[in-house]
């Protein structure tokens, strides 16, 4: 009979287990918590840091939103670029967070996909 502390964990075909996945997930959550705390501390201590962080965070949100939209449409960067009449390099720069993209460019991308660009004040 097994002791209470022993668990049967399912081994997957790639050799990982539910336990290993649980540990990895927990470690990622702890690390993200530490990062979030550090960002909060640095933001409170430095107005310059807060401004730079805010700008980069917004750029990242746009990058992730465009990537998710493109993937939900089942398109590569090149296919999206052709569909919306933009160079593939523009799509790549936006998705990499390397471009401070304008409202006009985002609107053109949305229109090219038959979508509406919505901006909200929260």
Instruction: State pLDDT tens for residues 42-100.
Output: 999 999 989 999 999 999 999 999 999 999 999 999 999 999 999 999 999 999 998 98
88 Cβ neighbours under 8 A, 6+ residues apart: 77, 78, 81
Q: Show the domain range for 72.
A: 56-122
- Report yes or no on 5 lying in a domain: no
Total of domains in the chain: 2
Paired with 11 in beta bridges are 17
* Share in percent of the chain as helix, strand, coil (round to 5): 65, 0, 35
- Report yes or no on 3 lying in a domain: no
> Is the model's pTM score more than 0.85?
no
- Report yes or no on 96 lying in a domain: yes
pLDDT band at 23 (very low <50, low <70, confident <90, very high): confident
What per-residue confidence (pLDDT) applies to 15?
A: 67
Residues 85, 32 share a domain: no
- Report yes or no on 33 lying in a domain: yes
Residues 27, 62 share a domain: no
What are the φ/ψ torsions at residue 79 (nearest 5 degrees)? -65, -40
Residues 101, 67 share a domain: yes
Kind plus residue range of the DSSP H or E element containing 53: helix 47-72
Residues 103, 71 share a domain: yes
| Alpha-carbon span 43 to 87, nearest angstrom | 36
């Amino acid at each position: 009979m097994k002791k209470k502390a022993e668990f049967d964990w399912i081994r997957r075909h790639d050799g990982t287990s539910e336990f290993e996945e649980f540990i990895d997930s927990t470690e990622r959550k702890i690390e993200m918590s530490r990062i979030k705390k550090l960002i909060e501390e640095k933001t409170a201590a430095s107005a310059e840091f807060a401004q730079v962080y805010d700008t980069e965070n917004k750029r990242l949100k746009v990058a992730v939103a465009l990537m998710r939209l493109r993937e939900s449409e089942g398109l590569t960067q090149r296919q999206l670029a052709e569909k919306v009449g933009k160079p593939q390099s523009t799509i790549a720069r936006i998705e990499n967070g390397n471009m401070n993209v304008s409202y006009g460019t985002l609107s053109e991308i949305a229109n090219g996909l038959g979508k509406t660009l919505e901006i909200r004040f929260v």
